[in-house]
Amino acid sequence: MGHREGRPSMLGCTVPGEEGPADAESERAGPWRAEGEVRSADSRIRRAGPERRGPAEREDLMQVRVEQDSLAAALRAVTGVVPLRPLVPGEGGVLLSADGHLKLVGRGGHLMVECRVNGADVEEPGSLVLPARLTAELVAKMGDERLELLQEETPLGMAFESSRTRARVRGWGADEFPMPETKLGMSSVAVMDGETLRRGIAATAYAASTDAAHDLLKGVSMTFRKGEVTLAAADGFRLAVATIAGNEEASAKHKIVVPASALRAVGRLLPQGEVEVSIEENGRRARFSSAEVVVTSGLLAGSYPDYSALVQREWDVTAVVNRDHLESASKTARALSGSMAKLEFSPEGTLTVSVKGKSKAGEADGRMELACESHGEAGEVLISTLYLTRAVSAIPSERVRLHCNSEDRTVPLLIESVADEAGLGAFRAVIMPMLAS
């Protein structure tokens, strides 16, 4: 793995990079078209495109009534994963399907999001693909009221009607949408509380690597056992581990590596309530399902590096400190130095955070003393202020326990939740020290 000057490396291993974002305006190219008009409440509508046909002529074309805010929220959820620069039209679209309820599907790379729209009244079933961002922008601007969606056949598209607006967006047939080609089933490995899963994701995914050269380290390891789920992420210079409550009925151990970007989407999109985690029979995909949202992600192939030695070593310096106080001190240190701070542990019950920085903007130094419960020897460690701040802010307990080594300053710093206070699981962060020049 690559080496960063002035700091020892933690882990090493080797996944293809992902395409970065591009100009959203490129989505409007090609066959994506919209037309329409805004009218006052008492004016007659002038149709854009084909005239609306009667019910007898529309039996095979979708007709749906839905609240604007519900549809807009669902479009935001699925559009977030759609590529900005699709290679073919269907890849930049959102699939709308109505059959008893209205469902939206968006896909980008290894990630697919399905969202059920609450409160939709399906008058006629049907399905088609519309340009994702154009449709999302249109619906977001149509006002908070009930909308009518009317599928048009020639040319294929969808009309969106409100009391003041009628607009039409051209689209494609449902078979143009890039659905995954697989006939393999999914096996459930865990059913867990959605908020608990979100907490575990927030406490670990930040530590995943962003370096395209390190494939597995761009993912988050998830290990499912009876009664618990362990998440872990590392970039070679820091490690974050969270053990949270899982499925008590689980009978076998399962291990997967989920791209960190996909797991962040899971934490962002899944609503309150239970979440079921399922794994495809060939181990290539995982699905996170709630009553309203389903997120399906491709998995990274390979065995995640063994990190157990980093969190199970012996330390002779320990301090328990208020988490908020340490977070505030680390943020102050970052503002003053911009890079690193020294943590000094005193057996008398004091943790000192000191910094001295010099840059083009000027020189600054600072010293913050925090009361703590000390155990063991005196010690000190030089640490990245960015990594320290991020790790401390991700641990959800009122107090945190810090460990380091009094003799060897190359030994990493361990920060962990105080289990009896968190009541939410066990959270740990390991940070490699900086080496003084």
| pLDDT of 408 | 83
350 has pLDDT over 60: yes
CB 77 within 8 A of CB 113: yes
Chain center to CA of 245: 20
| pLDDT of 421 | 55
Mean pLDDT computed over 77-102: 89
Confidence of residue 26 (pLDDT cuts 50, 70, 90): very low
Lowest mean pLDDT among 6-15, 180-189, 306-315: 6-15
Chain center to CA of 138: 26
Please tell me the distance from the alpha carbon of residue 240 to that of residue 300, in angstroms, as a whole number: 18
| pLDDT of 10 | 58
18 has pLDDT over 50: no
Q: Which of 393, 409, 400, 420 is nearest to 351 (CA)?
A: 400
The residue with greater pLDDT, 2 or 289, is: 289
Q: Domain 60-176 has what CATH class? A: alpha beta
| pLDDT of 298 | 94
| pLDDT of 365 | 85
91 has pLDDT over 70: yes
CATH number of 313-431: 3.10.150.10
Strand locations in 91-163 (E): 93-98, 102-108, 111-116, 121-124, 126-131, 146-152, 157-161
Domain ranges for the chain, please list them: 60-176, 186-298, 313-431
Mean pLDDT computed over 99-116: 94
Q: Does domain 186-298 have CATH number 3.10.150.10?
A: yes
| pLDDT of 239 | 96
Do domains 186-298 and 313-431 share one topology? The answer is yes
> For 358-372, how does the pLDDT look when each residue is reduced to its tens digit (9 = 90+)?
766 678 888 999 999
| pLDDT of 34 | 54
| pLDDT of 256 | 96
Q: Which of 131, 127, 141, 34 is nearest to 84 (CA)?
A: 131
Phi-psi sector, 200: left (phi>0), alpha (psi -120 to 50), beta: alpha
Average pLDDT score, the chain: 84
| pLDDT of 35 | 54
User: How much of the chain exceeds pLDDT 90, in percent?
Assistant: 58
- The two beta strands, 274-280 and 186-193, are antiparallel
134 has pLDDT over 80: yes
